[in-house]
Chain A
Amino acid sequence: MSNHSALNTFGRSGNPLIRSDIFSSRASSLGEKMTLQGAVDKTGILLFLTVMTAAISWNFQGPMMGAISALGALAAFVSGIATFGFWFFFVGWIVKPRPHLAPKTAPIYALGMGFIIGIMSEQAEMMFPGIVIQAVSLTFFVAASLLFAYKSGLIKPTQNFLLIIFSATVGIFLTYIANLVYSAFTGTSFSFLTDNGAFGIGISLFVVAIAALNLVLDFDIIEQAHEQGAPKYIEWFGAMALVATLIWLYIEILRLLMKLRSR
């Protein structure tokens, strides 16, 4: 038997536990490219995790669940910042995006956000019965409609589109932060955010529109990463971005419906 055929038969190591084919399969898995199906699967997994923890926080109320939810929210926040980064005006990036962390941070984010939306949904459902199913249905209706518009080429995200949506998103984010600080000192929120008048509903509609258009950017990230043969972990990154926007869209639709039903 020649040395090469011996290597092929027994592997590079004499130890059968560390045969070369095991290493080669490990190496090939590291070089794997992302697929659209992989991104779909990961999105499904993350949504399942979100719904699971949302169901837990919906059904088990109390101080213990409040503490777990607060911990979940903190974990989701840290996971989100670690993966997507954090950009600050005039200073630039403080935390750079790290897509390679997504396989670890995405499930943590989904589980943490599940606790938050479980509590929010339960409170909304107590006040307005049937509102949660309406909000969930409208969220997926908006997502499916925009996905169709994107895939068919009706909506074409460009650099200008990105700048407008990004600016509007940062504006909304800063308004929410300012509201949080304001309510911490005064005990009340900005009236235009909670008001159920025409102006308040208009603001809510604008936020829903911006959240929905963020979905188009997420679809583009997944599509382009797939075209360019991005590594496998981008499936988790794309899925995490998509689930984060879906959760945001769901919360905004829920708030809009609550304003409409309280009129």
Chain B
Amino acid sequence: MSLSTLLFAILGIISFLSFFFLLRYKASSKQTDRTNRIRWSSYFSYKERKGISQTKKVGSDGDAEFRE
């Protein structure tokens, strides 16, 4: 293994670890508190899928009412 390959491997490992380390943290307020952000919700809907909880109400609606 040549020295350059070794150096690239070290750079790759450090970059890989930094990438996954940074990805789990929230962006700074400088990034998030802006008025000119892209509105991704206008490009694709988060609420398109209707799960069981949205199509059928899971709760007491379908159940008989019991008196105490």
Q: Complex Cα distance A156/B34, Å? A: 9
Question: How many residue pairs, one in A and one in B, have C-beta atoms under 8 Å apart?
Answer: 140
Please indicate the chain B residues that have their CB under 8 angstroms from the CB of A27 in the complex. Answer: 52-53, 58
Chain A contacts with B in 227-261, Cβ cutoff 8 A: 227-228, 230-231, 233-234
Q: Complex Cα distance A98/B37, Å? A: 22
Given contacts A159-B38, A220-B38, contact A141 B11 (CB under 8 A): yes
Q: Complex Cα distance A143/B37, Å? A: 21
A44 within 8 A of B: yes
Asked if B49 contacts A100 (CB within 8 A), the reply is yes
Interface residues on A, range: 35 or more
Asked if B19 contacts A30 (CB within 8 A), the reply is no
A152 within 8 A of B: yes
Contact with A along B1-16 (1 / 0, CB 8 A): 0101100110110011
Asked if B58 contacts A144 (CB within 8 A), the reply is no
Chain A contacts with B in 37-58, Cβ cutoff 8 A: 37, 39-40, 43-44
Please indicate the chain B residues that have their CB under 8 angstroms from the CB of A156 in the complex. Answer: 31, 34, 36
Asked if B58 contacts A234 (CB within 8 A), the reply is no
Chain A contacts with B in 11-34, Cβ cutoff 8 A: 12, 23-24, 26-27, 30-31
Contact partner, B11, options A4, A137, A157, A234, Cβ 8 Å = A137
Please indicate the chain A residues that have their CB under 8 angstroms from the CB of B44 in the complex. Answer: 85, 96-97, 99
Asked if A133 contacts B23 (CB within 8 A), the reply is no
* Chain B min CB distance to A148 (Å): 6
A2 within 8 A of B: yes
Contact partner, B25, options A7, A12, A151, Cβ 8 Å = A151
Contact with B along A123-147 (1 / 0, CB 8 A): 0000000100110111011011101
Asked if B15 contacts A137 (CB within 8 A), the reply is yes
Quick one: which of A144, A157, A225 has the most chain B CB within 10 A? A144
Asked if B52 contacts A223 (CB within 8 A), the reply is no
Q: Complex Cα distance A141/B18, Å? A: 9
Q: Complex Cα distance A226/B24, Å? A: 11
Please indicate the chain B residues that have their CB under 8 angstroms from the CB of A138 in the complex. Answer: 8, 12
Contact partner, A228, options B11, B46, B51, B58, Cβ 8 Å = B46
A221 within 8 A of B: yes
Which residue on chain A has the smallest CB distance to residue B63? Answer: A12
* Chain A min CB distance to B3 (Å): 11
Contact partner, B19, options A39, A143, A158, A227, Cβ 8 Å = A143
Q: Complex Cα distance A150/B38, Å? A: 14
User: Which 3 pairs of residues, A with B, have the shortest CB-CB distance?
Assistant: A137-B12, A153-B30, A100-B49
Given contacts A3-B68, A4-B66, 5 further A-B contacts (CB under 8 A): A3-B67, A31-B53, A40-B20, A141-B12, A156-B34
